[in-house]
Structure 1
Amino acid sequence: MIGRRNFTMGLGALGLSACTSSFTGGTSPAPAALPDDLRPVRDAGYDAWLAAFRGRATARGITPATVDRAFRSAGFLPGAITRDRNQPESSRTLEDYLSIAVSDERVAKGRAAYARNRAILSTLEQRYGVDGTIVTAVWGLESFYGERRGEVSVIAATSTLAYEGRRAAFFEQQLMAALRILQNGDITPEGMTGSWAGAMGHTQFIPTSYEAYAVDFNGDGRRDIWSDDPTDALASTASYLARSGWTRGTRWGQEVTGGASGGTILQPQAGGPRFAVTGNFRAIKRYNNSDLYAIGVGHLADRIGGAGPLRGSFPPDANGLTKNDRIALQQRLTAQGFDTGGADGVLGNKSRAAISAYQTRMGQPVTGQPSLALLRSLG
C-alpha cells in the first residue's frame, strides 16, 4: 500500500522541511512567497498531454465542466519537476532530525496549539482512540501547526508531475482523485493548495488518502482540511491513524536506558538513544514510512504532553563535534558576521557557506567543513 506521504522524501514536505532550513539556514523561517518556478507557465508538451488526459478523465466520470474549471488557472510548474528530480538522499542523523522536529519552538507552539484545541482533541480521542498529543504532533511536523499549509495549486502540481513521467501513473492517480474532490464540492480549485508534490492542508494529505480517510467532523457538509479552522484536518488525521491500526490506550513507545530489552527495540543512530516501540509506532509509519518521522511524532507528542528531553546522549559526529560544539561553532561564526541562519547545531548549506566565507577571510584552505580546529580558531 502506498502510504499518505511516502511518495516524497518521507520527512515532511512543509512543516518540517520548511523548518529544516538549518540545512539551508535557520530553524523556523517565515513562510516565503510562492517562488516564480511554482507559478504556471505555458508548455507545449504539457498542453498536448493535457488534451489527451481530458479524454481519460471524462472516461472515468469527471465532467468536462469540472476539468475546465480545475485547469482554468492551473498549468505547467517547472519548479515541481526540478524539485522532484533533485530530492537528495536523506542522510540526517536522528540527532539532527530531532533538533528540528522537536525544537524548543515547535514544542512551545505545540503545547499552545494543544491547549487551544483541547476540546476538539478530547472529542477526537473519544471517537477514534488516538491521543490528542499525537494528532497535534503530526500537525506540528506536517505544517508547523497550520502555519505552512502550502500555496501551490494541487491540480497544477499533480498534473505537472503526471506529465513529467518519472512517476506518471502515481501522479495521474492523484490528479484524478483531486478532480473528484473538486467535483464533490469539498473545495474550489483556487482553494485546493498544498506542497509542490500535491500534499494538502493542515496535515498534508495526498488526494487519494483524502478520499479514503478525510471526514467532515464539524458537520458543514465539506471535508475541509484547508481552511483556518483545523477541525476537519485534525479529525481526518485521527481517522487515518485509527484505521491504520492505532490501539486505544497504548503508547507509541518510549526511550529505554541501560540494559532494558524486550519487544521491538530501535536504535536509529549508533551510540544514540534506544527506543522500545509498539504497534502504534507502526501506525504512525503508515502516515509516513520513516522511523525518524515516527520517533519525531512520538517524542514531540510526549514533549507537548509535558515530558522532558530524551535522557540518552548522542555521540560526536563524523567530524568529532558534539551538538554543543556545533551550536558554539554557529554562534561564533555569527558573532564574526557570518550568517549561519541560526544556531541549532544542524550544519546545513548556510552554515557551510559561512565556514567557507570565514576560511576565505582568514586565508585558510576553503573546504566548508566543520572541525574542532575550526571551532578553536574562532576563539
Structure 2
Amino acid sequence: MRKGLISALVAASVFTSGPLFAKEGFDQYVESLKEEARQAGIDDDILARAFAGIEYHERAVSADRNQPERRLTLDEYIPRAVPDWKVDQAKALYKKHYAALKKVGEEYQVQPRFIVALWGVESNFGKLQGNYNVIEALATLAYDGRRETFFRQQTMAALTILQEGHIAPENMKGSWAGAMGQSQFMPTSFLHYAVDGNQDGKKDIWQTEADVFASAANYLKQAGWDDTYTWGRQVKLPKHIDRNKLGVESNKALSLNQWQALGVTRLNGQALPNVDIQAWLIQPDDELGRAYLVYNNYQSLLKWNRSHYFALAVSHLADRIKFG
C-alpha cells in the first residue's frame, strides 16, 4: 500500500514538473517581465508584439545546460575554425567591401582585417545568425533560473532595442542564448556598442553590413584597441619556463626583451622583435600545447568573448587575410 502511494506521488511529481507545469509557470513569469518593462517605459504595443505567441523553449534550456564537455586542442580547433574555404571567403569579402572597411577602420582606428575576421568567426559573414526568437529564448532562460539576473537584464535590453525601433519584434532573431545579428551582440552589448553606420536612423546588425562593420569596430575601440599594433604571435618556449608567469592578468605583462631573456623565441627559434611593447604569455591547452605572446589588442578580443579559442580564431583569420 505504501509502495503504491509513493509510486503515485512520484508519478504526480513527474507530471506537474513536466511541460504543462513549465508552461503555466512560464506564462506567469512572462507577465512579470511585461510589468517590469512597462515600468521601464516600454510601450504596450511593443510588448504585445514582442511576446506574441512565445512559449517556454526547452531547446534553449538544453543548449544552456549541456555545453560540450570535450574541448578540442588548439591544433584541432584552429584548422576547423579557420579552414581554407573561410579564409578564401574572408579575402574576397575584404576586397569587395574594402572602401567601406577602410573608412570604418580609419574612423575607429581598427585594422579592417580584424573586422572581417570577427564577422567570419561570429556568423560566417552573416550566414549563421541563429533563428531563435530572441525574446522567447531570453525569457525562457531567465525563467529557467540558472542565470536569471543576467538573462532578465538581457530581456529588458532587447525590449529597449525594439522600443527604439532598430528592428521589428517579429524579425529579432538570434542564437539560443540571445546573441543577435551578424556580429552576435548580446542585447546589452548592442545598447552600448551598436552604431548606425549608414546613417539611416537604425542600428541594423542583422541585414546592414555598414552597421555591422561600424558596430564591431566601435566595440573594439571602446575595449582599448590600438591599430598601431597587431594581436600577438605564436612562440616557442624553453623547456623549463616558470608557469606562474603565464596568464592574461595585468601583473603578468612583460616586455618582449624580458620574455626573450627568459628563453621565449619566435616559433622558428629566432629572436623576438625588438619592439617596446608589453605582452602576456598564454598556453591555453597544457604544457605541450601551443604557446602565444599576446598584446593589448588580444585583451580587447577577450572583452568581446572571454575565450582564448575565440580570440585565437579571430586572430589567426585576421593574419590569414593579411599574410595568406
- The answer to whether the Cα contact below 8 Å between 2:139 and 2:152 also exists between their aligned partners in 1 is yes
Of residues 301, 305, 310, the one that matches 1:288 is: 305
1:268 matched residue in structure 2? 284
RCO higher in structure (CA 8 A, sep ≥6):
1
Contact 1:129-1:248 within 8 A present in 2 as well:
yes
Structure 1: segments with no counterpart, 5+ residues: 1-41, 308-379
Name the structure 1 match of 2:106: 126
The alignment status of 1:239 with 2:215, answered yes or no, reads no
Q: Alpha carbon RMSD of aligned pairs, Å?
A: 1.6
TM-score, structure 2 normalization: 0.78
C-alpha separation between the residues in 2 aligned to 1:192 and 1:277?
Answer: 36
SS in 2 for 1:254: strand
Contact 1:191 1:226 in 2 (8 A): no
> Does the residue aligned with 1:275 lie in a helix, a strand or coil?
strand
Aligned partner of 2:253 in structure 1 is none
Deviations 1:32-83 (A, max 9, x none): xxxxxxxxxx921111111222222211222222211111143321110111
How much does 1:295 deviate? 1.4
Write the mapping of 1:174-193 to structure 2, written as runs, cut at 5 A.
Answer: 174-193=154-173
Matched positions, count: 265
Asked if the contact 1:214/1:236 (under 8 Å) is kept, the reply is yes
Supply the distance in 1 between the matched residues of 2:146 and 2:200 (Cα, whole angstroms). Answer: 39
- Residues 215 and 223, structure 1, Cα contact 8 Å, conserved in 2: yes
**Unaligned segments of structure 2, at least 5 residues:** 1-21, 235-265, 273-277
Deviation at 1:271, TM superposition (A): 3.1
Tell me the TM-score normalised to structure 1 length.
Answer: 0.67
Partners of 2:75 and 2:290 within 8 A in 1: no
Q: Deviations over 1:204-253 (max 9, x none)?
A: 000000000000010010000011x3110111010000000001221111
What is residue 230 of structure 2 aligned with on the other side? 251
1:1-379 equivalences in 2 (<5 Å): 43-89=23-69, 91-227=71-207, 229-255=208-234, 256-257=266-267, 258=269, 260=271, 263-269=279-285, 270-307=287-324
AA of the residue aligned to 1:305: K
Bigger CA radius of gyration: 2
Question: Structure 2 CA distance, aligned partners of 1:153 and 1:135?
Answer: 26
SS of equivalent residue, structure 1 residue 264:
strand
Alignment identity in percent?
42
Three-state SS of the structure 2 residue aligned to 1:190 is helix
CA 90–198 in structure 1, closer or farther in 2 if over 3 Å, else same: farther
Q: Which secondary structure does the structure 1 equivalent of 2:171 belong to?
A: coil
Paired residue type of 2:288 = G
Matched AA of 2:295 = T
Per-residue CA deviation, residues 74-111 of structure 1 (Å, 9 max, x unaligned), is 33211101111111235221112102111111111111
